[in-house]
Structure 1
Amino acid sequence: MTKIANSRSHGPRWTALAAGCAALVAVVGGALPAAAAGGAGQGSAAVAAPAPRLDREALRELMAPDEVAAGTMVRVSAPGLRWTEATGGLSQDPAASFRIGSVTKVFTSTVVLQLVAEERFTLETPVQELLPGTLPAHWHPITVGQLLSHTSGLGLPCVAPENPQAPTPAAVIAALTDPACPAPEYPVTRQQYNGFNYFLAGMVVEKVTGHRYADEVQRRIARPLGLRHTYLPAPGDTAMPTPSLAAPSAVEPWAWAEGGMISNGPDLERFLGALLRGRLLPPAQQRELFAMPALSQGAQDRFSNAGLLRAELADGTVVWGKTGSMEPYTNGVFGTGDGRRVLVYSYTGVTRDPVAQRRRAEDLVAAAF
């Protein structure tokens, strides 16, 4: 696979955001262990088709509380199969909600691609044209497509924004573009995951539509798909729905279009399945989900033009998805390219060791596909 990871909160929220964008956490990468075959079974009119095989034993072993995770929820779905379990004191309610962290980015990129389909702009449109005055005039143009594919060359802020406990998106970008901070890499020579790309993408959504990012997600994705448990909390809203997967964290969350949403297993399963099957995007934009930018070649983390993580298992199975972390949860959602098999997982972490996080994600994905 490729690395799967995202912002984790450790310390003040601004520190957490910057650190999370600097290092990818909870990653899936490299050649994964061979997984059980996941094709639909053959049947006849007289005999029901068997459910696709699933290595439940391997999943349950991975879900046992240990030095990586205090508790784990896993949901796997495919035609003829729906399996959900939770361990370690996590809620057994299949509708339990959790903070999805940077899985939020997939919602953001989907809205952006819908706007491209509506000819509001193109993936080649410079951000400077859509958000005049937001980025320094001496910076080389950064396109919308570069934001989604993490090929913008953007670095990290070197100063804290105004009101760091509750910064506005504009304040976040102002800190990123402070004269004391280095300009983006140019020419860009590599694909480098950076959550700040998606703050700019969210700002583009609001500027072009004239509506709040949260409202556009509801209008374009959540309501059409019936995602009743998926939303972006208002700034300062620290409440969690009931039931929630685990007890709320003392850390006040905030990451907006980059990583701030709340959802649950059934909603994420429905969203990714619909996205991969082409229910949310026209054909031209659907192709961007799976098209890989040239700069992704040789990268440990390979993201598509639409910001989906591409992961290849040892048996050749390719899956697409995203990870995300927001205290106390570390999550992932992955599916086959046809959207017929989808994995959603969430666990409450014990360690922040990125190597251990990566291995856990690799193993969960390998056991589910």
Structure 2
Amino acid sequence: MANSRGHEKRWARAVAAGAVVTALVAGAVPAVAAGPERGVAHRHQELDEEALRAVLAEVPNENVTGGLIRMSGTDGRWTGLTGPSVPSADAHFRIGSITKIFTSTVLLQLAAEGQLTLDDTVQKLMPGLLPPGYHPVTVGQLLSHTSGLPIMTCAEEDMSPREAVDASLACGEPTEPGKATRYNGINYFIAGLLIEQVTGRSYGTEVRTRILKPLRLRDTFVPALDDWSIPAPHTRGMVVVPGSGSDELKDVSVQSPHSWAEGGMISNAPDLARFFTALYRGRLLPPAQQKDLFRMPAAASGERQFSYGGLQRTELPGGTLVWGKSGHAAGYTSGVFATRDLRRLLVYAINPTDRAPETPYVMRIAEAAF
């Protein structure tokens, strides 16, 4: 963002992208509150490859220049792609807020090692970060978006993560933590800062050491804050420039990674499928933290609810439960959602033009996938 208004618009788009999966298919019921699991793992039907092909056949169009769908799991495997912006099934793309799950996984690993707990407060771990007079905010409240911290609107693109947090805290008012869900990127900027504070190493180093190298995710990257590039092959983000007076599309594939621990990473569909599969199977976390990964806070409320691992929980019509995360960056919308038993795992990546909301198209992808 060149200014706070631009930054605010980007955050509004990111929040809207997260809302895409509040009801993954048309008519989906809202996510249920914390408590015993409801619903079934899956209807145990074979993948509907014809339905998946039909969704891809809608692209390209004026609102989406290309798309990629990758299905895996015990119900079967299928991959399809379409449009000039998607060169291959293993093309890189900016994953936006899916980054948050890498961040939460590192923090859960630190909890497993006894370096912190989900009940530790930000005030204890980083004295002076939150203004005096703020209620105690716990690590668990950050990860589940129940912190009540001000929405992140005043940070600018050239700020460091700490500067971005300070700027946002200076221009907003908090609500009482632990009372309600409010999706907010500042939670994961602070989570990244906590990782660096506790370990004494950079956020990128911890993600690479703890997740990328052990899982051999060779196509997943935490860019340096001055690295705007994206490795080839990559999908192309093509958007209409607001206020330009032109309907022509601009290639925005090269863009700032300043969303950092909240949304700055790059990956591809095979790597994301491998990461979420390993995560759900317990390969990255011991049993106590694996339970936290899916544990919902008592304060979970509203249509979007997040676990202590940052996963969104959604119950679909018919009772199927899916867990995962969506992401957005200019020209890029993506998501990873799966049944908890990994019968089905969906990775999608599309290139919206920002001419119109891409929500209906994403909902059709999810309907075909699950």
TM-score (norm 1): 0.85
One-letter amino acid matched to 1:213: Y
| 1:73 has 2:68 as partner | yes
Cα displacement (A) at 1:241: 0.8
CA contact (8 A) 1:21 1:193 kept: no
Structure 1, unmatched stretches of 5+, are 1-7, 41-51
CA contact (8 A) 1:24 1:193 kept: no
Rounded to whole Å, the distance in 1 between the matches of 2:210 and 2:5 is: 33
Q: Which residue of 1 aligns with 2:188?
A: 198
| 1:133 has 2:128 as partner | yes
Q: CA RMSD in A?
A: 2.6
Corresponding residue SS for 2:347: strand
Corresponding residue SS for 1:81: coil
Higher mean C-alpha deviation, range 72-81 or range 264-273: 72-81
Q: Within 5 A, what are the aligned runs for 1:1-369?
A: 14-20=7-13, 23-25=16-18, 27-30=20-23, 32=25, 53-63=46-56, 64-65=58-59, 66-79=61-74, 81-157=76-152, 159-160=154-155, 164-178=156-170, 181-186=171-176, 188-246=178-236, 249=252, 252-254=255-257, 255-297=259-301, 299-351=302-354, 353=356, 356-369=357-370
Corresponding residue SS for 1:176: helix
Change over 3 Å in CA distance of 1:33–1:18 after alignment to 2: closer
> How many residues align structurally?
342
CA contact (8 A) 1:99 1:326 kept: yes
Cα displacement (A) at 1:134: 1.0
Change over 3 Å in CA distance of 1:128–1:17 after alignment to 2: farther
CA contact (8 A) 2:14 2:327 kept: no
Rounded to whole Å, the distance in 1 between the matches of 2:88 and 2:3 is: 28
One-letter amino acid matched to 1:142: V
Rounded to whole Å, the distance in 1 between the matches of 2:153 and 2:26 is: 39
CA contact (8 A) 2:4 2:153 kept: no
Change over 3 Å in CA distance of 1:104–1:157 after alignment to 2: closer
CA contact (8 A) 1:75 1:84 kept: yes
Q: Which residue of 1 aligns with 2:247?
A: none
CA contact (8 A) 2:62 2:355 kept: no
Rounded to whole Å, the distance in 1 between the matches of 2:153 and 2:349 is: 32
Structure 1 residues 227-258: Cα deviation after superposition (integer angstroms, max 9, x where no partner): 00011111121111111122651662221000
